[in-house]
Structure 1
Amino acid sequence: MTYVEGFLVPVPSANKEAYKKHADDAAPLFREFGATRMVEAWADDVPRGEVNDLWGAVDAAEDETVLFSWIEYPDKATRDAANARIMSDPRMKEVGATMPFDGKRMVWGGFESVCDEGQGAGTGYIDGVVMPMPLDARDAYARFSAACAPAFLENGALRVVDAFADDVRDGKQTDFHRAVHRQDGETAAYGWVEWPDKATRDAGWEKVMADPRMTGQDAPFDGKRMMFGGFVPIVDR
């Protein structure tokens, strides 16, 4: 199953093109280090929440945009080896010398996929989600995801990925645990749905919500603390 390095990034809205160049420059190096895909997606339809949301997860300012991004690896060992190389490769130091965002508020962590259905080729729109998950609910989450995925894929989605926290650490200012308002006995989950475009996503969600397979599903997490939003990929390598 896919191993995911997931990120939430606060970027000044005026720095969109600078951030895209920064990511484009880094992508070939991550691929050289063993990554199979790198995606950076710019906020398009990200609602404000009553309890928490993706804006608050990165302490975004009014003039900033939140990005939902990830790097895929074939397994954790490849990801760990890649991160070791990233820390020592002089080319990565050059790329990171002038970051067009506040790295102190970047949220990141490693996740093991529990569901990976469909193919992401032709992705033009992404629904990203981050949620709290009981530590003992990994199997229940996998069953829930497997039961829901067909409804998305048969109603226009290209790919559905859900992943369970594996290497998610506490940060000094922001992190996934703070973002989901983690309680005792919980961790975080990270996932996304890929669509060909926003119109297909909007129409697809109406059908998904009316799909009888979605009714009666017992979600193994607190939906009131689930954060989600729609994003447009600006880098997909």
Structure 2
Amino acid sequence: MTYVQGFIIPVKQDHKRAYLDMAKKAAPVFAEYGAITTVECWGDDIPDGKRTDMKRAVQAEPDEKIVFSWVRWPDKATCDAASEKLMADERMQPDGELPFNPQRMIYGGYEPAYEGGDGGSFGFVDGIVAPTSSDKAAFVEHARKISAYFLKKGATRIVDAWGVDVPDGKVTDFKRAVAAEDGETVIFGWVEWPDKSTRDAAFAGMMDDPDIQAAPPAFDMQRAIFGGFVPILDTDHQ
């Protein structure tokens, strides 16, 4: 089963070029150790939430943007073996000061539970992280029904992944990001769109669609964090 490392990272707006340069340097090394693809997406539409949101998830400062990123691996074993090699690889050492605060970056490991769409290149991404107490089958059924609407409205791919290695952090982590409670699992997912206008049109009619109305609740939307992003690195299509 494929495996996804998911990341949310606060990056200062004027460090965008330095961050992208760092990502471009690291992606080929990930691939050398078995990664299938690396994707980096720059925050474009990150709403404030009443209880949780992506900015608070990483304690973002006023001059920081949110990066939503994932690295896909053939399986968890390949990822785990690569992690040790990456730590020791001199090519992964930064050329200077890091363009983000690593103490506030959050990351975790996820196994895709549902995937829909044919994929291909994309121009906009919606990312979501949420806590769920539902069983995995209920989560997959929810994802399937929601995806039916998104694919009908022009999405090219939907991935919803189930947390399997979501570590506690010293300052921030995925669990705290969504106020996860005991017994809950954190999910990480994204929707790929050809462009933002297609995504905006889909969201405008979302609550009037029967596929959405028929989707049973699978996680607490009040604690979910989400946002819209523009891809700046996609090793599959760049």
Q: TM-score range by the shorter chain?
A: over 0.9
For 2:156, give the aligned amino acid. L
For 2:221, give the aligned amino acid. G
Work out whether residues 145 and 214 of structure 2, in 8 Å CA contact, stay in contact via their aligned partners in 1. Answer: no
| Residue of structure 2 equivalent to 1:107 | 106
| Residue of structure 1 equivalent to 2:97 | 98
Work out whether residues 43 and 67 of structure 2, in 8 Å CA contact, stay in contact via their aligned partners in 1. Answer: yes
For the structure 1 residues 13 and 131, does the alpha-carbon distance in structure 2 shift closer, same or farther, using more than 3 Å as the test? same
Deviates more, 1:111-120 or 1:155-164: 111-120
RMSD between superposed Cα atoms in Å: 1.4
| Residue of structure 2 equivalent to 1:206 | 204
For the structure 1 residues 182 and 170, does the alpha-carbon distance in structure 2 shift closer, same or farther, using more than 3 Å as the test? same
Residue 22 (structure 1) aligned with residue 22 (structure 2): yes
Shift, 1:133, TM fit: 1.3
- Could you list the runs of 5+ residues in structure 1 that have no partner in the other structure? none
Work out whether residues 2 and 112 of structure 1, in 8 Å CA contact, stay in contact via their aligned partners in 2. Answer: yes
For 1:60, give the aligned amino acid. A
Shift, 1:11, TM fit: 0.5
Q: d(CA) in 2 for partners of 1:81 and 1:233?
A: 27
Residue 31 (structure 1) aligned with residue 34 (structure 2): no
Q: d(CA) in 2 for partners of 1:121 and 1:65?
A: 26
Q: d(CA) in 2 for partners of 1:120 and 1:101?
A: 30
Aligned residues: 235
- Specify the SS of the correspondent of 2:181: coil
Shift, 1:96, TM fit: 7.0
Q: d(CA) in 1 for partners of 2:118 and 2:99?
A: 31
Work out whether residues 157 and 196 of structure 1, in 8 Å CA contact, stay in contact via their aligned partners in 2. Answer: yes
For the structure 1 residues 96 and 171, does the alpha-carbon distance in structure 2 shift closer, same or farther, using more than 3 Å as the test? farther
Within the candidate set 168, 171, 174, 1:173 is matched to 171
Q: d(CA) in 1 for partners of 2:225 and 2:118?
A: 24
Deviates more, 1:63-72 or 1:113-122: 113-122
Work out whether residues 126 and 228 of structure 2, in 8 Å CA contact, stay in contact via their aligned partners in 1. Answer: yes
Q: d(CA) in 2 for partners of 1:171 and 1:181?
A: 13
Shift, 1:179, TM fit: 0.3
**CA deviation string 1:59-95 (max 9, x = no partner):** 0001111111110112111111221211121211x24
For 1:154, give the aligned amino acid. K
Within the candidate set 158, 161, 164, 1:160 is matched to 158
Residue 58 (structure 1) aligned with residue 58 (structure 2): yes
Within the candidate set 133, 145, 148, 1:147 is matched to 145
Work out whether residues 2 and 116 of structure 1, in 8 Å CA contact, stay in contact via their aligned partners in 2. Answer: no
| Residue of structure 2 equivalent to 1:231 | 229
Deviates more, 1:51-60 or 1:78-87: 78-87
For the structure 1 residues 97 and 85, does the alpha-carbon distance in structure 2 shift closer, same or farther, using more than 3 Å as the test? farther
- Specify the SS of the correspondent of 1:149: helix
- Specify the SS of the correspondent of 1:66: strand
Shift, 1:220, TM fit: 1.8
TM (normalized to structure 2)? 0.94
Shift, 1:225, TM fit: 0.5
Q: d(CA) in 2 for partners of 1:118 and 1:34?
A: 24
Sequence identity (%): 47
Work out whether residues 155 and 208 of structure 1, in 8 Å CA contact, stay in contact via their aligned partners in 2. Answer: no
Shift, 1:208, TM fit: 3.8
Runs of 4 or more, structure 1, over 6 Å off, are none
